[in-house]
Amino acid sequence: MSLIELLEPDLVLGDSILQLTPAILQHYQLKGLVLDVDETLVPIHTTQTSPELQQWVGQLQKDTSIWLASNNLSKSRIEKIARALNLPYIAGAGKPSRRKLRQAIADMALPVEQVAMVGDRLFTDVLAGNRLGMFTILVEPMVDAGSSPRHLLRSFEVWISKALGASLTSKT
């Protein structure tokens, strides 16, 4: 797989993760999700989960295995979010490394092709998922009202990826 292909998500949601529905998961035959945390589920400086996010997770958990995988090194912060959502988690995942993501996939006991890596970043979430052969979903970041440096970093990643020739439209 070329670098360009590694940076191309299978699905570009074009909205927040809350728009990822059971119907979409069923359409792509996905039975498991590995979710990024910072700016995918909550803004980076937030430790509280919204009622909408809790409801969304509860709805998906009925038919889908879900793990959290964050590069954030603050285990206490990620654990607080994971507990609020009643989900297993990995802090300090080191994405785009695949090593710790394999743990989540193994725990789900699903074929890797039936598990999606969902995140807001191309150079960590999408790259890691594609390197493992997962289905990859790029979502719009959840950010605080003021622009954050990470949001600017994401914009830079999108620009670089497009300059390299990556298509940021859904593959399937």
CA neighbor of 112 nearest in space, from 133, 136, 137: 133
Q: Which fold has domain 7-109+121-164?
A: Rossmann fold (3.40.50)
Global pTM value: 0.90
What pLDDT shows up at residue 172? 61
Report the C-alpha gap between 94 and 57 in whole angstroms: 24
**167/2: higher pLDDT:** 2
47 C-beta neighbours (distance < 10 Å), count: 12
Number of neighbours of residue 97 by Cβ within 10 angstroms: 14
The pLDDT tens digits of the residues spanning 87-129 come to 999 999 999 999 999 999 999 999 999 999 999 999 999 999 9
CA distance 76 to 118: 22
Tens of pLDDT along 127-142? Answer: 999 999 999 999 999 8
41 within 8 A of 142, measured Cβ to Cβ = yes
